[in-house]
Chain A
Amino acid sequence: MELRIALAGNPNSGKSTLFNGLTGSNQYVGNWPGVTVEKKDGTYKKDKSLKLIDLPGIYSLSPYTLEEVVSRNYLLKESPDAIINVVDASNIERNLYLTTQLAELGIPVIIALNMMDVVRKNGDQINIKALKEGLGCEIVEISALKGENVDHLMDVAKKVAEDHKKTGVITHAHEFNEEVESYIRQIEDNVQALRDNKNHRWYAIKLFESDPKIEDKINVTSEEKEFIKKLQEDADNKLDDDGEGIITDARYEFVTNITHMNVKKAKEGMTASDKIDRIVTNRVLALPIFAGIMFLVYFITIKVLGTPMSDWVNDVFVAEILQGNAGAWMDSAGVAPWLASLVNDGIIGGVGAVLGFLPLIVVLFILLAILEDVGYMSRIAFILDRIFRKFGLSGKSFIPVLIGTGCSVPGIMATRTIENDQDRRLTIIVSSFMPCSAKTEIIALFAGSVFTGRWWFGPLCYFAGIAAVIVSGIIIKKTSIFAGDPAPFVMELPQYHFPSYRNVIRSTYDRSKAFVIKAGTIILLAALGVWLLQNISVDFEFHTFDQHSKDSILSVIGKFFSPIFIPLGFGNWIATVASALGLVAKEVVVGTMGVLSGIGEVGSGDANAIALATRLFTPASAMAFMIFNQLNVPCFAALGAIRTEMNSAKWTWFTVIYQTVFAYTIALMVYQFSSLALGGAFTVWTGVAFVVLLAYIYLLFIKKPKSSKRKVKEEAALQE
């Protein structure tokens, strides 16, 4: 007989560690339908009949956060056979608060009292037997990290679930103070629909709390509603709080009593974690320490490990080994040149682009997983919250933006660590505005040609990137899709602890896999599409791009569209096609300009390239070209990453459109205003640029609208 067991518990309770330990490799990571909350399920590796569902880490079953509503809907609708409630024994009071809510759902609850090794080491005493009686559920002492007693936990869970299936009896015992109990009883007795509902107590409590998601799920007549309202008014008079507040108080009162009676702390005072925290988030030292850690993350990811490994994959593994051998083999087999080119440049090149990013991403994910597991991630939010929330981002947005200066793909993937949906989406949209290492090739070309001797050009691009992040943050946060009540910033700062290698590996593996599958599909399709446009002429004949670039479909389309860029100062087809190919990878922009102008593949330092850039661009148009390419959709690989992280086609499109419009309008202003400043004439387009400027100023300073379309929609989605 198959049994379904849900794992529920607070964030940082060790739930993921337990889940990873129980399932090993038998787990599947996906998303809960319709929302971006991660869903994990698997089977117990020692007994395949036990299915495990890892619910999101939550503090409560309130109706206010996605994670809580997802958990609650699952538990009520799918009613699993048992809940294993993971409780951090070293932080038992707040953890048991959730337990009181889980125990009311009519599903047997088994408490996995985790981190017992820490409790024992501290010399704290927990009276398990009394706790068990008070809560009315089985308690198993475990250490998920060390794997202590977890098999016993599963035996108990299996037995409890089986017994409940046979008898249908639930033994949970906790009761609130008499006053609150009498209100609950009155609702249970007077609401008809609760009479034969097996979860009558839970629903009665929710009705007393005026839970907005419950009232329409259960049939309550208008008289009954009136009755409940009277009870709430009576309670408000006596206890000076609304229903929700009274129940929360009562839960904590119960939990405080039971823990004070049964948990004896050996010593109060500073733990090792407190001492570390005193230094790490110290008023003076916090920022330097943070800067140091960020430097290390950046340095290891971009300079030391990630980039050299990615270069090796690109240049040696893909170019020499795969493409070299495949090319030689196809040559000797007499494969048609177009097919050979399609296989080598299109397919293998596309797959290679995905593989090439992998080392960079794996290294970054390992480092991020360590920072998360150690407990430093939430400190970053604590330290930086004040600056970042001013432009609508979270303190954790710093890492994606920083990593973005190396490469947008891992930068976007780093948004994984931001819990708040709105903050995460916004960070994804803005994190690619920084000049990544591929974009520096374009900076180098102009710094060495049009802007020779002007040292400020390079730094200016970085400042432009920072300004773009800030301006976009402020503007987008004001649109109706992002507006509405900000989520309260009330965040636990967990105890520091050594990272678990299993958690780090697991999280790195899952996240990298998501990149390969989701981003990989987009990158490969894009590579094939571009190969087609580049190498097929308008007469549908095959030419390689290097030899016949002018006849390719891409060039013809480029010529057609190039007038669009006249207001930006680079309306020539070479710059247009180079920008378009920049979507494949920004590295190819400079080379493409060389190919198109007939001087062949060039690097940014070549004398030919410098001559070409000086011929094609003025300082004003070079600046506009740079800004356009820097702010525009970074590349297909980044687009793949955006798709993975947004987990929604709608949001991916929003990002693409926003970035394109933003890049175009900013580049327009840059060109028009600098032309004007350098003595150019005032044209229609200068006027347009001024209108655009006014529009930006307006967007920056209007008040934020109050209602939120998105919130309403998301709530509607959660109803079902």
Chain B
Amino acid sequence: MLTLRDAVVGRNYKVKRLHGEGRVKKRIMDMGLTKGTPIFIRKVAPLGDPIQITVRGYELSLRKDDADLVEILEVAE
């Protein structure tokens, strides 16, 4: 299962589905990471965590542990 934790910087993906439940899942979805949403992996923080992605036209950062809840699909260039 490919999750946002393993995503490669500079590539485009799509959200497949969200795992987990309650406040963490809801918070991630509230920020716009819903099924089918295109995301671009912008960068990784200097110390290796968190990551920064572009979603719905804005910049979002999330820890790898939380990113692990987001199952993704790679999008062909």
Contact = CB atoms under 8 A, between A and B. Distances in A.
A252 B47 contact: no
Nearest to A68: B30
A65 B66 CA distance: 17
B30 A382 contact: no
Category for how many chain A residues contact B: 35 or more
B27 A245 contact: no
Interface string B11-29: 0000001100111111111
A287 B34 contact: no
A108 to B, nearest CB: 24
Interface in A620-634: none
B21 to A, nearest CB: 7
A490 B34 contact: no
Contacts of B18: 241, 245
A386 B45 contact: yes
B60 A491 contact: yes
B31 A385 contact: no
A493 interface: yes
Contacts of B6: none
Nearest to B9: A283
B15 to A, nearest CB: 10
Contacts of B17: 240-241
B30 A283 contact: no
Given A242-B21, A488-B23, A59 B62 contact: no
B23 A485 contact: yes
B59 A249 contact: no
Contacts of A240: 17
Contact of B66 (A249, A384, A387, A490): A490
Contacts of B66: 488-490
Interface residues of B, number: 35
Interface stretch (A91-99, A155-163, A356-364, A608-616): A91-99
A492 B34 contact: no
Nearest to B23: A64
Interface in A461-499: 485, 487-495
Contacts of A248: 26, 29-30, 34
A714 B28 CA distance: 23
Contacts of A284: 46
B62 A489 contact: yes
Interface string B23-61: 111111111101101000001111111101000111111
B61 A493 contact: yes
Contact of A277 (B34, B59, B62, B63): B59
A252 B49 CA distance: 28
Interface in A487-533: 487-495
A385 B50 contact: yes
Interface in A39-90: 59-60, 62, 64-65
B35 A249 contact: yes
A59 B46 contact: no
A244 interface: yes
7 contacts: A64-B22, A94-B56, A382-B61, A385-B47, A488-B63, A490-B28, A493-B59
Interface of B: 17-18, 21-32, 34-35, 37, 43-50, 52, 56-63, 66
